[in-house]
Amino acid sequence: MINAKIGDTVNIECYTGMGSGGKSKVTKITNEVVGKGIDGSIVKGAKKKKVIWCGSHAFSADTGDALNEPTMYYISHVVK
């Protein structure tokens, strides 16, 4: 679980090991349905989840994984 607040700085890493996304500031936090179909319809059983936004890049607060492109990035931790 990534416990970030708006304004926090988070460290973003890349799963490929080809570098780092560096540090980024949390710009908003939302609760959204994660599990929409390609046409935008909600997939049966989809649940609302906390989403951390760094600009236009969305990350799961549960896992830190990117939810939109480029999906090779993840939040590793909140920078103290």
- pLDDT single digits (tens) 26-75: 999 999 876 666 676 766 777 788 999 999 999 999 999 998 888 899 99
The total of other beta-carbon atoms located within 10 Å of residue 17's CB is 8
pTM over 0.85: no
pLDDT of residue 38: 66
Q: Return the C-alpha torsion angle 66, 67, 72, 74, nearest 10.
A: 10
Q: What is the mean pLDDT of residues 6-21?
A: 87
Domain limits of the chain? 9-78
